[in-house]
Every structure is written in structure tokens, then in C-alpha cells.
């Protein structure tokens, strides 16, 4: 209770001292406002943490109007204090969880207090918890996963009891939540997965366990550790989609079918079926999702005709008019243009069907989509991609302007031959050359404004090759009206999968820019030994400044404990091989599974960052730090097992005094520094901390 009280006091103290948007409050506060205003947005993280931010805004009677611009002052009357208190409460609960986890791991009282005190007094944990961010929630659910795992470990002799099921279910809930805040939660999933597989492997060797019981163990874990987290993850996205039903800043990132069901989005006004005379925009299904585009600029070589490119943004140069094909008596290989569909309605509208041959006329330049035997600019090889250009006009042109529509699939329930806007995926085959219109996934040089290259694929016959698959994104026709409401239906699992792929691509795209100096980013080698700090706001004299930096005594001893545990384990392996059996060896063997889980938790949450290409920041180390902190009292318990009470109290007391004194000394970094930063230069123990350097 004392530790919990101190935790809340340290986290909430002076929490509203700075009334400006600090660091990533600019992102996550803004996402919370989108939920309150129901405006659709996209982000690289799953929704749970941002839903909780929105909930804190609701508690604070926030109307969503303030958009959390970086460094902006909170408007008068906005209760940002309540939102910060909500976030800080998650961070405050880490301290009692650390104590309870240590007790579940059979730590001594002194060791449990030390572990909780180190979490309490870490200035990095304190600072990150005091703002409207996701990290305090991520850390809480990571701690809850560790606590529930050790709690379940204690129930191994009471399989299928109520307590056993409760702890196993709590692991599943915590995994579902930590994964739904950030994908870093996958490392916690890995920790639990490894523990579970080893546990089931050990049970396989139990000759007294029946096959039915063993299968039941597998079934219970599948239910609680796989199905339950998946359900929580899915429910978070369902709430996300249900709350964001209005058009917003993230529309363009989603599929046109999804956008069409959003209130205020113009895609829902597109005519359902394509017809000759339709004004359409066409988007590729390839990951780039470029729109078919042309402009007045020409290729510098090859045909020297107008360029045809892929362009991501909405633009008047993306519009194409579907016209009748060039009707000629030439035999187009296996295609007969005279068999074009004659599907008319009462208004004289002639609809486009699967297999129809069309001509696409670029509306801004009056040129026709065209291909010929020149190689595309980036391939220089006719066997791969031929050049696609815009050529001629409504009167002037030839049969190389003709393209055949080949339906790949319908996303809606329609099974006929007509082409539906947004719902029909199709390919465009050049009638004369037999190649397929495709995005080459290469960018044009400066003369093409670095837009995506469009070519005609000579050897692309794979129907699943998304480079050659297109859809009509918008469709306007003077004789066709907008479809009835809810024509373009929302499909949860389709949009869920689409959004998760988008998040994956966006995460992978967060790579360092070599042309820009990023004073906030860091590398994994800088983290464990407090080799770097992070400025969280402006650094001028008039701003209250916050510096994200760990307590050196906490971080240094934690990293040393990782190294010590590894060396110690190797030592005990050698001792056991040499048949040395004493109380020290027995004590190590008995408690090793706890230490191993903590080391594995640190390893899984830290080492993968060495192979990631994305930009990284100091806070990425915080989940790993928690596991290494708990290793410190674990090792002290082991080393002092033979010491008397006074010696143990002295050893633990000295370390706690060092941790607390470091915390007090560096606390201005967390509670805010006012005035010139040079006044705090004495606290810059290492020159690479970047505390006082001017930029």
C-alpha cells in the first residue's frame, strides 16, 4: 500500500505544470479527438491504447475540437489534466504489479520491495507515464503478462482448478491487451509461447498423465492463449471501425469500398456500374495503390509520347473517359472486336461487361491510353515491360488504343458479367500486343517527377499478381445516378485484414532519413547503459523542459544483472557437469526457471531491435528494462541466501539508497526544468546525453 501510494504521488505530482502539447501527445491526443468526433484516421498502432486515450478525453468532457498540434498551448477550459492523470494511473500501477510479481516468484520481502522501488524510482518510467501517450498502457499490460505468467506457474500442481483457469485466462487477456496497444506486444506473446511449449513438452514426459489429460492441456492453452487474445484484438478493431463512421484524414489509406460507407465521403456517390461514357479513376491493387495518371509531359526517349504514370494522390489528371474502341478489320489475334457486348438499358446506356474491348481517353489531355513495342523506361527489356503512353485523341489514333477488360473477381455478392465500381477487380489486356497493364513497382527519374512507372507486362499471366490488377475507384456518368444508400457494404474481416496489412507496411516504412539529422532517434546499443536521453519539447529558456532519461543506478545495475545471470548460469552448468551438488547448486536449480523467464523476457523485448530497419527511440527499450530490473533482486536474493538478516538489510538498503538518491537528483528531468538549461549542466554526467547542447 505504501509503494502504491508513493507511485501515484510521484506520477501525479505537478502533472499539469506544462500546459503545452508534449512530444507524442501531438499524435495520440489527436487520435483520441478523432474518436470523439467519429472521424476516420489511420495509424501504425492497433487501436486499444488510442481508444483508452479517447475514453480519458470523454472523462474530461473533451469535445474533440482541439487537434493537439505539437507544442501548442492547451486551450483555456480544456481539462488536459484529467487525460494525463488517466495515462499516469497505468504507469503508477506498474509498481504494485512489480511487487506482486516478485512475491509470486518467491522473492524475499526485501527483494520484492527493492524490485518495486527500482520501478518506482526510474525517471524514464516516471516521465513517460505523465503525458497522454500509449507507453504507460503498454508497460502496464506487459507487467500484467509477467505477473499472470508467474501466477499461473504457481498453479502447476492444481491443473484445471478454478485458480488455474483464472491465471491462464488472465495471461490471455493481458496478451490480447498488450498486443492491441502496440505490436511490440508480440514479444510478450513470444515469451508466453516459449514458456507454454516447454511446459507442454515437460508434461509429455509425465508417464502418469493420461492422453486425454494431455490433450486437455493443449486445448486449454489454445482457448486461453490463442483464441482469447485474438478475440480481444478483433473486438478492439470492431470498436475502432464502429466509432469512426465519418470521413476523416485517414480515408485515402483505406480501400475505396471502405471509404464509400463513411459519412461525407464522395466515393459512395459513384455510379455502381461502368458504361461507355463513364468518367472513371482507376487504382492498382499493388501495394503502392497508385492511380492511373497522365499529364502533358512526354517521355524523353522511346515513343516520346505523353507519359502515363502511377500517382497516389487525387488529381484532375487521374480521370479517364471510357470510349468505344478503334473498330478496325484487323484480326486482333484471339480477340474479335465485333463481338463487343450490346448490353443497353432503357436510357440507351451501354454497360461494360467482362471481355469487352474499350478505349480509355485521358480527359485532361484528350490522349488515349496506348502501348507499343518500345521497352518501358526502367526495364530496357521488351520481354518484361513495354512502354505505356498517351497518344492521339478522339479522332486520331490506331488499334493500339484498344484494351480488353478481364474480370479477376467481385468483392460483392454480384456474380454477373458487368463491372462494378470499387467491387470488381479486373485486368486490362492490350488487344494488339497481348500484354497486361501493370505498375512496375519502380519510380521514374526526375523527368517523371518520381511517380510510379506504368508498363505493359509481357509475361504476367498470374491472376494473383496484383501489379496487373485494377479497379475503378470513382465512376461518374451523365445518365447514371448515384446508387442507393448502403450499396457499397462494409465488411469487417476484409477491412480488418486490409488495415493490418497497411499498418505493417507503414511500420516498415518508418526508416531513418540519411539526409536529415534526427536528434531524437537512437540505436539499441545506446539504451542499456543510459547512453542517450530524449528531449520531449522545445528547449528554449521560456519553455518548461522535459528530458526522457533513465535513472542510471536502475539501468546500470539492471544491465549488469543480465550479464551476471548469464555468466552465473554457465558456471552452474559446468558445476553440474562436474557432479558438484550442494545447497547453492540446489537453490539455483530450484529458482532458475524464474530467472530464465526474466532473461528471456529481456532478450525478446530488446534483441529484435538490432535487426529492425525502422527508426528507433529510447522508449522502445522500456518493456525490456522491466524484466532486467526484476533480475536485480532475484540475483541479490541468491547471493545473500547465506547471509544473516543484518547483512542482507545492509546490502539491499545500500542499493535502495543509491536508487532513491539518483531519483531525487534527476527528478527535475521528469517534473520539468524551467529557465536556461545551462543551470542543469551538472546533471549531464555524459556528454552524449544531449542535455545542454544548442541546436
Among the four given CATH numbers 3.30.540.10, 3.90.1580.10, 2.80.10.50, 3.90.230.10, the one describing domain 271-482: 2.80.10.50
The residue whose grid cell reads 531525487 is 664
Give CA separation, 362 vs 217, 279, 282, 424, 452, in Å. Answer: 64, 10, 12, 21, 18
Q: Is the Cβ–Cβ distance between 521 and 617 less than 8 Å?
A: yes
Question: For residue 512, how far is the Cα from the chain centroid?
Answer: 17
Place of cell 496506348: 370
Consecutive 10-residue runs of the chain (695 residues): their mean pLDDT? 96 96 96 97 96 98 95 95 98 98 96 98 98 97 98 93 97 98 97 96 91 96 98 98 95 89 88 94 89 96 94 92 76 45 72 94 96 87 84 87 94 86 94 93 93 89 79 92 78 94 90 76 95 94 96 98 96 88 84 94 97 93 98 96 93 97 97 94 89 81
Give the chain's length. 695
Q: Quote the longest CA-to-CA distance of the chain.
A: 104
Separation of alpha carbons 480 and 474, rounded Å: 13
Residue 321 to residue 426: CA distance in whole angstroms: 17
pTM value is: 0.91
**What does the pLDDT read at residue 515?**
66
- Count CB-CB contacts under 10 A for residue 670: 26
- 107, three cell numbers: 522473492
The three-state secondary structure class of 265 is coil
Grid coordinates in use for 205? 514426459
Q: Return the bridge partners of 443, or none.
A: 452
Give the chain's end-to-end CA distance (angstroms, integer).
45
**CA 481 centroid distance within chain:** 39
pLDDT in tens, 321-334: 999 998 754 443 44
Burial of 112 (0-12, 13-18, 19+ CB in 10 A): buried
- Parts of the chain belonging to CATH 2.80.10.50: 271-482
Confidence at residue 383, expressed as pLDDT on a 0 to 100 scale:
67
Predicted pLDDT of residue 335: 44
C-alpha neighbours within 13 Å on the C-beta side of residue 674: 4
Query: E strands along 381-431, which residues?
Result: 385-391, 402-410, 424-430
Query: How far is 572 from 594, CA to CA, in rounded Å?
Result: 15
Residue-level pLDDT at 458: 84
Half-sphere exposure of 403 (CA within 13 A, CB side): 25
Secondary structure (DSSP) of 86-102:
HHHHHHHTHHHHHHHHH
Amino acid at each position: 500500500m505504501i509503494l502504491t501510494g508513493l507511485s501515484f504521488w510521484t506520477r501525479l505530482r505537478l502533472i499539469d505544470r506544462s500546459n503545452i502539447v508534449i512530444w507524442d501527445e501531438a499524435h495520440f491526443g489527436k487520435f483520441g479527438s478523432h474518436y470523439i468526433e467519429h472521424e476516420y484516421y489511420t495509424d501504425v498502432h492497433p487501436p486499444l491504447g488510442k481508444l483508452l486515450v479517447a475514453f480519458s478525453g470523454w472523462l474530461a468532457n473533451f469535445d474533440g475540437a482541439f487537434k493537439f498540434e505539437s507544442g501548442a498551448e492547451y486551450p483555456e477550459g480544456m481539462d488536459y489534466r484529467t487525460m494525463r492523470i488517466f495515462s499516469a494511473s497505468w504507469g503508477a500501477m506498474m509498481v504494485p504489479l512489480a511487487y506482486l510479481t516478485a512475491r509470486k516468484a518467491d522473492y524475499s520481502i526485501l527483494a520484492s520491495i527493492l524490485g518495486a522501488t527500482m520501478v518506482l524510482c526510474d525517471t524514464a518510467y516516471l516521465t513517460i507515464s505523465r503525458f497522454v501517450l500509449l507507453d504507460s498502457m503498454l508497460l502496464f499490460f506487459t507487467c500484467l503478462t509477467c505477473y499472470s505468467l508467474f501466477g499461473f506457474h504457481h498453479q502447476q500442481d492444481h491443473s484445471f482448478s478454478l485458480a488455474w483457469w483464472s491465471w491462464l485466462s488472465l495471461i490471455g487477456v493481458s496478451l490480447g491487451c498488450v498486443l492491441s496497444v502496440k505490436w511490440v506486444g508480440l514479444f510478450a506473446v513470444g515469451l508466453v509461447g516459449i514458456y507454454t511449449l516447454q511446459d507442454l513438452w515437460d508434461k509429455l514426459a509425465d508417464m502418469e498423465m493420461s492422453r486425454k489429460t494431455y490433450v486437455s492441456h493443449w486445448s486449454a492453452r489454445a482457448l486461453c492463449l490463442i483464441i482469447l487474445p485474438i478475440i480481444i484484438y478483433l473486438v478492439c478493431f470492431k470498436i475502432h471501425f464502429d466509432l469512426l463512421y465519418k470521413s476523416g484524414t485517414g480515408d485515402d489509406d483505406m480501400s475505396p469500398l471502405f471509404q464509400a460507407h463513411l459519412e461525407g465521403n464522395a466515393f459512395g456517390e459513384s455510379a455502381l456500374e461502368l458504361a461507355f461514357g463513364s468518367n472513371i479513376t482507376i487504382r492498382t491493387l499493388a501495394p503502392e495503390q497508385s492511380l492511373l495518371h497522365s499529364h502533358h509531359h512526354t517521355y524523353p526517349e522511346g515513343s516520346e509520347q505523353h507519359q502515363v504514370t502511377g500517382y497516389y494522390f487525387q488529381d484532375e489528371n487521374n480521370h479517364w473517359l471510357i470510349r468505344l474502341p478503334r473498330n478496325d478489320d484487323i484480326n486482333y489475334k484471339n480477340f474479335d472486336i465485333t463481338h463487343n457486348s450490346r448490353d443497353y438499358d432503357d436510357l440507351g446506356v451501354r454497360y461494360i461487361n467482362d471481355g469487352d474491348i474499350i478505349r480509355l481517353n485521358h480527359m485532361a489531355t484528350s490522349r488515349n491510353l496506348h502501348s507499343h513495342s518500345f521497352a518501358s523506361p526502367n526495364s530496357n527489356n521488351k520481354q518484361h515491360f513495354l512502354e505505356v503512353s498517351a497518344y492521339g485523341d478522339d479522332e486520331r489514333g490506331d488499334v493500339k488504343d484498344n484494351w480488353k477488360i478481364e474480370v479477376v473477381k467481385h468483392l460483392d455478392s454480384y456474380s454477373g458479367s458487368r463491372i462494378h465500381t470499387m467491387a470488381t477487380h479486373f485486368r486490362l489486356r492490350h488487344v494488339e500486343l497481348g500484354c497486361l497493364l501493370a505498375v512496375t513497382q519502380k519510380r521514374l527519374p526526375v523527368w517523371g517527377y518520381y511517380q510510379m512507372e506504368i508498363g505493359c507486362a509481357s509475361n504476367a499471366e498470374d491472376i494473383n499478381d496484383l501489379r496487373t490488377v485494377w479497379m475503378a475507384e470513382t465512376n461518374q456518368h451523365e445518365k447514371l445516378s448515384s446508387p442507393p444508400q448502403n450499396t457499397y457494404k462494409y465488411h469487417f474481416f476484409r477491412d480488418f485484414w486490409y488495415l493490418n496489412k497497411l499498418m505493417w507496411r507503414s511500420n516498415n516504412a518508418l526508416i531513418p532519413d540519411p539526409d536529415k539529422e534526427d536528434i531524437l532517434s537512437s540505436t539499441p546499443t545506446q539504451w542499456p547503459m543510459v547512453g542517450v536521453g530524449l528531449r520531449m519539447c522545445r528547449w528554449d529558456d521560456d519553455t518548461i523542459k522535459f528530458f526522457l532519461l533513465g535513472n542510471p543506478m536502475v539501468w546500470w545495475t539492471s544491465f549488469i544483472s543480465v550479464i551476471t545471470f548469464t555468466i552465473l548460469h554457465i558456471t552452474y552448468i559446468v558445476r553440474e557437469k562436474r557432479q558438484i551438488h550442494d545447497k547453492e547448486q540446489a537453490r539455483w536449480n530450484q529458482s532458475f526457471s524464474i530467472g530464465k523467464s526474466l532473461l528471456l523476457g529481456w532478450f525478446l523485448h530488446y534483441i529484435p531491435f538490432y535487426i529492425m530497419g525502422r527508426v528507433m527511440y529510447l522508449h522502445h527499450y522500456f518493456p525490456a528494462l522491466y524484466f532486467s530490473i526484476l533480475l536485480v533482486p532475484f540475483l541479490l536474493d541468491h547471493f545473500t541466501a547465506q547471509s544473516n538478516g543484518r547483512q542482507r538489510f545492509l546490502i539491499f538498503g545500500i542499493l535502495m539508497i543509491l536508487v532513491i538518491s539518483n531519483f531525487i537528483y534527476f527528478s527535475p528531468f521528469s517534473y520539468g526544468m524551467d529557465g536556461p538549461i545551462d543551470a542543469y549542466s551538472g546533471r549531464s554526467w555524459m556528454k552524449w546525453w544531449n542535455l545542454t547542447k544548442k541546436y
